Amino acid sequence: MNYYILTLFPEMILQGLHTSIIGRAVDKGLISIEAINIRDYSKDKHNHVDDAPYGGGAGMVMQPGPVCDSYEDLCQKMGKRPRVLYMTPQGKVFNQSVAKELAMEEELVFLCGHYEGIDERALELIVTDYLSIGDYVLTGGELPAMVMIDCISRLVPGVLNNDVSAEIESFHDNLLEYPQYTRPEIYEGRQVPEVLLSGHHKNIELWRRQQSIKRTLDRRPDLLKGANLSKKDEIYLESLIKE
Ligand code: ADE
């Protein structure tokens, strides 16, 4: 997976994404991250990329020229026109299934706005997807782009050490993940659930499934409608609701 981020703050992206699992994936060549400075495409002698909004109002608007030119230059170099994801609170809310769909692409371009946004004509010309990370307003698109890149990258084969864990974790099947424990066996008087020490794999699997269902009912009951529950799961869920 190759990511290209069109931004006024490339150092923010590069610093944020070169640590831990994502940093290692870059080092292993499983993903690449290129931050492109929109300011490099300014034709203004002071390198300006923004101006006051027509019609008046507060703040500054990013001009269409540098935004479009940065993308067109990239397309020219690549010989193709990859999808452009514009980070905006007005977009579709990003979630695990959007991440899964985006992970199938070979290249993704993230467009990060700042100030009061980007001139609408640039968006009409190059943007393919409008995406938000939630119903709140941030100062720019860099953090949303980093959130999405982190989430998509862990779905790229080889990025996580074990490919099963990308599947089993929270939101797979619309159920939250079961609780996890490690040594010591007793901490502050609290014992690790007995079944996990038993070595009985079938019982452990059943316990984990039931914990996932219980946790989802407690914390995110809205997810249960989309969960893929077996007859046995349904019976367990019914018993929890009756309690
Ligand atoms: N830019 C500002 N706020 C945002 C949000 N919530 N999601 C995506 N991009 C944004």
Give the pLDDT confidence score for residue 173 in this predicted structure: 82
Q: 132: Cβ below 6 Å to ligand 1?
A: yes
User: If you measure from the C-alpha of residue 130 to the centroid of ligand 1, how many angstroms do you get, rounded to a whole number?
Assistant: 10
Residue 146's alpha-carbon distances to 132, 142, 188, 223, in angstroms, are 12, 6, 37, 25
Give the pLDDT confidence score for residue 115 in this predicted structure: 78
Q: 147: Cβ below 6 Å to ligand 1?
A: no
* pLDDT means over runs of 10, the chain (243 residues): 98 93 96 98 96 96 98 98 98 96 98 93 98 97 98 96 66 89 98 98 98 98 95 98 95
Atom of ligand 1 nearest to the CA of 131: 8
User: If you measure from the C-alpha of residue 87 to the centroid of ligand 1, how many angstroms do you get, rounded to a whole number?
Assistant: 6
Separation between Cα atoms, residue 207 and residue 58, nearest integer Å: 56
Give the pLDDT confidence score for residue 161 in this predicted structure: 81
Give the pLDDT confidence score for residue 163 in this predicted structure: 59
Helix 142-153 with 20-27: angle, nearest 10 deg = 70
Residue 143 identity: L
Mutational pocket test of ligand 1: of 127, 137, 149, the residue with most ligand atoms within 8 Å of the beta carbon: 137
Q: What is the pTM of this model?
A: 0.94
* Cβ neighbours around 75 below 10 Å, total: 14
- Residue 220 tokens read as 């995110």
